Amino acid sequence: MHPVTMSDQAYASTQENPVAMALRPSTTEIPMGTSVVLEDVAPGPLRILSVVTEQPLHVLDIEGLGASALARDALARSYPEALITELDVRVAGPQ
């Protein structure tokens, strides 16, 4: 498993530790104004987690965790105030 962190800044090196993007409060769904393109993803299962907190996290707050700490339940224990969603998808192979 390779964590992918969404940030509104380029993240190209483990020496960087940008803060996650801020989402403005809303009572309705609104577009985030950004997107993620996954490159060189191997075919097969892919788990996508989102962790939304009131206070901004930095990339390494999540990516610095060990693999067992990236399970949804473990994240919920680490960030009890967070809204954590999980989406399991399957990446198709080359056509």
DSSP letters spanning the chain: -------SS----TT--PBPPP----SS----S------SPPSEEEEEEEEE-SSPPBHHHHHTS-GGGGSHHHHHHH-TTSEEEEEEEEE----
- Would you give per-residue pLDDT tens digits along the chain (95 residues)? 444 445 545 667 777 888 887 777 788 888 877 777 777 889 999 988 888 888 888 888 888 888 889 899 999 999 999 999 999 999 998 87
Which domain, by its residues, includes 26? 1-95
Instruction: Check residue 78 and give its pLDDT.
Output: 93
Task: Pick the closest to residue 84 from 46, 52, 45 (CA basis).
Answer: 52
> For the chain, what is the domain count?
1
Model confidence, pTM:
0.71
